[in-house]
Structure 1
Amino acid sequence: MSIVVLAPGMLSSVQDHGRCGWRHLGVGRSGALDSLSFSIANRLVGNATDMAVIEITLTGPRLRFAESARIAICGARIDASLDGQSLPGWRRIDIPAASELHFGACRSGVRAYLAVAGGFLVNSVLDSQSTDLRAGFGGIEGRALKADDQLIIGDGFRPQCDQVNIDTRWIDPAPDLDFSNPSIIRVLPGSDALDDDDALFADKWTVGNASNRQGLRLQGTPLRIADPRERISEPVLPGTLQLPSDGQPILLLADAQTHGGYPRIGHVIRADWPRLAQLRPGDALRFVRCGARQAQQLLNEQRQRLARMAIAIAADA
């Protein structure tokens, strides 16, 4: 089965769970920024949770399906329609052959995920099918989708239908995916102290226009590091909060580099990474202090919610 890209949208790329275990060679993680939406979309169509999907940014693609398919759309609240019929998110949708799926704009959030039963078949590079846009490998030739691309779908459920069939049951992603403004982001202490311990948490921050899959550039009252001496390059990870010399923090995401020389003033807890993925330029956020024990508890609770969702989805299949 194949899907033809009629129009690519602003930035659509093939992503899976990410490229793990290669940071010692300078290879970043990549992968779906919103791992929660990515996993649920795959579960809804009967895929393994780590199968490749299309990550859609701000405005989506237009796709033609050669054969019938089961799909799910999760993540940002995005305008989606099939041959003129509006499609909701967070549920199974069966579509007939020769359908044209059209994505418009994200109304809240910034990244939506399209999963198709069987997953997208692209070559694996370093144990992942994810597109590393900065390094230019993985996915479809290491780049975003473009018009006339043909995406091959693996073996999976193929509905027998001559019209769209939308499941009335749906998944509620709250509280893990929070579109409120400002968004509350919980932070562990970093290895570098600020001259004012409360400065990071005192005011809200705004996501700048220069943000991308590598990181969110934040704007607010400039921060000052307690020890301004130049630092050697040290390891960084998705979630690391760096402080350049201008005092405006950079919050690293999945396409982040593996090392950096800026002071590391905090680290966003893993349970809040899906929220980071849905922050768009102009959105506001507030940082809240968090301890290691609380961070682990919140991650365990999130994983338990995902496990319960998986059981409910499987029972309804």
Structure 2
Amino acid sequence: MIRILETGMLNSVQDAGRLGYRHLGVSTSGVMDRLALQCGNMLLNNPAEAACIEIQTFPFSVSFGSQTGFSVTGGHAPMTLDGKPVLPWFALCARQGDVLRIERPVAGARMYLCIAGGLDVPVVLASRSTQLRGGFGGWQGRPLQQGDELPLCNLSCVEEVGLVPPAQALALKAEGTDEKTVVLRVIPATDYTLFTGDSLKQFGAIGWQITAQSDRVGYRLKGGALRMREPVELRSYGVVPGIIQVPPSGEPIIQMADANTAGGYPRIATVIEADLWRLAQARIGSFVRLQLCDHAQGLAAAEDVQTYLKNAQKNLMLYRKSFSRRGAGHTGKQA
């Protein structure tokens, strides 16, 4: 087991999400940064659906009740294991009694602690994710608290090997933006043409700031008011993460992992799935640039992500074969 020594608000157990229940009003939940989860589990040779701890308030620390492998992905944060500095995006092995401490990220917003074999919390509606608003799933249906002891699916150590983070391998910039602005590619949605020409020009031309009124349900942006050509009344429709809605205030809201299952605000665009991890790592107060693209470009971006994952998996397999031949007594490598 692992024991929570220090935690902030809303840190929780998550996995890839609760799929197939939106028609019953149950949101997907799951990690905000799915790519970080995939990489963390890949580093440990875990099943893809293995649950992790999503950390979004810091500092965070845990102690290990037995020797086991772990990895920390997401942003880039100062970390120590038994008081010694360790790096994110590496598979590491903790001894019994070791304490892992994760400080506030210097880049990115969220960190993901994956454990070899995964966390052995109950499966509810085909997922181990915490549904915070519904109060079920994860660990007792709530955020983690100091003193919680989470059981593990199995105990195993791992080869010490790392990955090049997606933020480096899949870097994306737009002309006229600085390195601190997160670029998100978006596809025009159903109601795009109902907005005024000035609003459509503004939509993709400015840096939108993520406000403090943002959470796992949705990110509210500010930077101006988007207006429609004339008032419209829409029927409720299904909502998925990435949809950008525009309420009467004119300030866009991007639906996130805990998105409502239905809504009625006009839809101006949708963040492509391949870029949702970028948004998950954007901090409150930072800026995003919404760059229009078409479906073909969105599919190409998804293929780039899959290529990154396939190459990472291939390199990890080659390294593990090499490790098994030469045995222990190695230094950590980055795949």
Indicate the TM-score class for this superposition, using the shorter chain for normalisation. over 0.9
2:7, 2:58 within 8 Å by CA — same for their partners in 1?
A: no
1:7 and 1:272 mapped to 2: Cα distance? 31
The one of 239, 248, 253 aligned to 1:250:
253
Instruction: Show the counterpart of 1:195.
Output: 196
Instruction: Show the counterpart of 1:171.
Output: 164
Question: CA-to-partner distance for each residue in 1:86-142, whole Å, 9 max, x for gaps?
Answer: 111111111211111112212221111111101001111110000111111110111
In the alignment, is residue 27 of structure 1 matched against residue 26 of structure 2?
yes
Instruction: Show the counterpart of 2:316.
Output: 313
2:110 and 2:229 mapped to 1: Cα distance? 36
Q: Relative to structure 2, which stretch is displaced further, 220-229 or 124-133? A: 220-229
In the alignment, is residue 38 of structure 1 matched against residue 37 of structure 2?
yes
Instruction: Show the counterpart of 2:137.
Output: 138
1:72 and 1:219 mapped to 2: Cα distance? 35
1:314 and 1:112 mapped to 2: Cα distance? 24
2:11 and 2:59 mapped to 1: Cα distance? 7
* 1:255 counterpart SS class: coil
1:177, 1:275 within 8 Å by CA — same for their partners in 2?
A: no
The TM-score normalised by the length of structure 1 is 0.93
1:16, 1:50 within 8 Å by CA — same for their partners in 2?
A: yes
Question: CA-to-partner distance for each residue in 1:63-83, whole Å, 9 max, x for gaps?
Answer: 111111111111111221112
* 2:37 counterpart SS class: helix
What amino acid is the match of 1:130?
S
The alpha-carbon distance between structure 1 residues 280 and 123, as it changes in their structure 2 partners (threshold 3 A), is: same
Instruction: Show the counterpart of 1:50.
Output: 49
1:12, 1:60 within 8 Å by CA — same for their partners in 2?
A: no
Q: Aligned-pair distance for 1:171?
A: 2.5
The TM-score normalised by the length of structure 2 is 0.89
Root mean square deviation of aligned Cα:
1.6
In the alignment, is residue 107 of structure 1 matched against residue 100 of structure 2?
no
1:176, 1:275 within 8 Å by CA — same for their partners in 2?
A: no
What amino acid is the match of 2:64?
F
Instruction: Show the counterpart of 1:218.
Output: 221
1:245 and 1:105 mapped to 2: Cα distance? 35
What amino acid is the match of 2:151?
I
Question: CA-to-partner distance for each residue in 1:175-231, whole Å, 9 max, x for gaps?
Answer: 446694211111101111311232211211000011110111101111102342222
Question: CA-to-partner distance for each residue in 1:145-192, whole Å, 9 max, x for gaps?
Answer: 001111001124236xxxxx9x36443323446694211111101111
2:34, 2:277 within 8 Å by CA — same for their partners in 1?
A: yes
The percent identity for this pair of structures is 35
In the alignment, is residue 232 of structure 1 matched against residue 225 of structure 2?
no
Unaligned ranges ≥5, structure 2: 174-178, 321-335
Aligned residue runs from structure 1 range 81-92, under 5 A: 81-92=80-91
1:176, 1:271 within 8 Å by CA — same for their partners in 2?
A: no
Moved over 4 A (4+): none
Higher helix share: 2
Q: Aligned-pair distance for 1:252?
A: 0.5
1:156 and 1:242 mapped to 2: Cα distance? 44
The one of 254, 279, 291 aligned to 1:276:
279
The alpha-carbon distance between structure 1 residues 170 and 294, as it changes in their structure 2 partners (threshold 3 A), is: closer
* 2:306 counterpart SS class: helix
* 1:248 counterpart SS class: coil
Count residues in correspondence.
310
